[in-house]
Amino acid sequence: MKSAKIVGLGKYLPPKILTNLDLEKRVDTTDEWITTRTGIKSRHIVENNTPVSVLAKEASLIALKRAGIKPKDLDLIIVATITPDTQFPSTACYLQDYLKAKKACCFDVSAACAGFVYALTCAWQFLKTGFYKNALIVGGEVLTSITDWEDRSTCVLFGDGAGAAVLVPTGKDGILSSYLGADGSEADLLILPGGGSRNPVSARVVEERLNYIKMRGNELFRIAVRIMVEAAKKSLRMAKLTSKSVKLLIPHQANIRIINAVAKRLELEGKTYINIDRYGNMSSASSAIALCEAWEEKKIKKDDIIVLDAFGGGLVWGSCVIKWI
Ligand SMILES: CC(C)(COP(=O)(O)OP(=O)(O)OC[C@H]1O[C@@H](n2cnc3c(N)ncnc32)[C@H](O)[C@@H]1OP(=O)(O)O)[C@@H](O)C(=O)NCCC(=O)NCCS
């Protein structure tokens, strides 16, 4: 076997919708500011502290059904998330238990908004070497659990959701290339400072609101555009293709202005999947849900070349080229 292909996709969005008008009542913001600066109109959010594993389970059940693979036959479960149910056990372990996928080995990937691309690349490697016969990967987040509802510059951006993909080995095509990167020297640009071993939970952490996302959006914006363009070009070069062959670009959904700038520089305007208006930024879940939704809307057909392209806190980034089979 030389590669791996996706044989099932699923997504789950919690039913409650939070609109920009709802946010106008919570913080000093307007629908107009949010729409023009970010492209977001609404986002889905969990209620009653629903953990990310529950969203992951719903998305996974759909993906497994579409793939025709029974949970008991799964070899590998990877969950990409920065909002795990608990620091440990991993969310993948909770998911394994829900699914009764007793045979599967399980781990989480922490690569923020590039998490799904990182997880996809890990699964691809396990499958192309013949180490495993199938894999379930999930990008899932409950970002509202780490959102500071008193910070208007971040609380308008994020949403909750999960997307899942089932992969099996294949002799040709499927995933053609992957390019992953990171730059830890810029960690402070987008960070959850509290709750880990650097700043364990304490009264001070809570008082200083370090248990919430901190972001220097303006600085990130410029880096995001440059790196996402570079990453897509690199993964296409690795696949010996150019953007002319691409049917659909599926970029991380952080900001419509970033998406448009990346699409323009790659000459893929009109071939770019966008759903940020309905969901906001869901970190690792954004790419997973966008891929699933594009497929459900029949925007992906056999033999199409599609490019996933993501960037996030770490900094981390990744791009995968897939020939759909
Ligand atoms: C976060 C982001 C939307 C902010 O947009 P921006 O155009 O950069 O806005 P700025 O942060 O420069 O703020 C501009 C003004 O709007 C204000 N503002 C910020 N949030 C606001 C809100 N929700 N409502 C109204 N005004 C707001 C700021 O206070 C600032 O006011 P000032 O000029 O009086 O100081 C944008 O920077 C972004 O999307 N960044 C990249 C995010 C990203 O790539 N993340 C990584 C992947 S997850």
- How would you write the pLDDT of the chain (325 residues) with one tens digit per residue? 689 999 999 999 999 999 999 999 999 999 999 999 999 999 999 999 999 999 999 999 999 999 999 999 999 999 999 999 999 999 999 999 999 999 999 999 999 999 999 999 999 999 999 999 999 999 999 999 999 999 999 999 999 999 999 999 999 899 999 999 999 999 999 999 999 999 999 999 999 999 999 999 999 999 999 999 999 999 999 999 999 999 999 999 999 999 999 999 999 999 999 999 999 999 999 999 999 999 999 999 999 999 999 999 999 999 999 999 9
Backbone angles phi, psi at 197, to 5 degrees: -75, -15
Same fold across 3-171 and 176-323: yes
Helices (H), the chain: 20-24, 31-38, 52-67, 91-99, 115-128, 152-155, 203-207, 217-238, 256-265, 276-279, 284-296
For the chain, the residue count is 325
Q: Name the residue of 37, 148, 259 whose CB sits within 8 Å of the most ligand 1 atoms, as the mutation to test its pocket.
A: 37
CATH of the domain spanning 3-171: 3.40.47.10
Cα end-to-end span (Å), the chain: 15
Are 76 and 105 in contact, with CB atoms under 8 Å apart? yes
Are 300 and 294 in contact, with CB atoms under 8 Å apart? yes
| Active-site residue, 281 included | yes
Crossing angle of helices 115-128 and 284-296, rounded to 10°: 70
Ligand 1 neighbour 98 (Cβ under 6 A): no
pLDDT for position 2: 86
Are 99 and 69 in contact, with CB atoms under 8 Å apart? no
Tell which CATH classification among 3.40.47.10, 3.40.718.10, 3.30.9.10, 3.90.550.50 matches the domain 176-323: 3.40.47.10
| Active-site residue, 44 included | no
Q: Which of 48, 174, 195 is nearest to 110 (CA)?
A: 195
The ligand 1 atom nearest the CA atom of 283: 48
Please state the domain extents for the chain.
3-171, 176-323
Ligand 1 neighbour 258 (Cβ under 6 A): yes
Residue with tokens 């993964």: 235
pLDDT for position 1: 62
Are 224 and 282 in contact, with CB atoms under 8 Å apart? no
Which residues, listed in sequence order, are joined to residue 79 by a DSSP beta bridge?
Answer: 108, 138
Ligand 1 neighbour 221 (Cβ under 6 A): yes
- In a 3-state reduction of DSSP, which class is residue 172? coil
Ligand 1 neighbour 38 (Cβ under 6 A): yes
Of the residues 20, 134, 255, 281, which is catalytic? 281
The dihedral through the CA atoms of 216, 217, 218, 224 has a sign that is positive
Q: Name the residue of 153, 190, 226 whose CB sits within 8 Å of the most ligand 1 atoms, as the mutation to test its pocket.
A: 153
Residue with tokens 């793939």: 67
| Active-site residue, 113 included | yes
Sheet-wide strand order for 135-142: 3-12, 160-170, 135-142, 76-80, 105-109
For β-strands 105-109 and 160-170, DSSP reports them as: unpaired
Of the residues 93, 113, 122, 320, which is catalytic? 113
Distance, in Å, from the CA atom of 257 to the CA atom of 325, rounded to the nearest integer, reads: 32
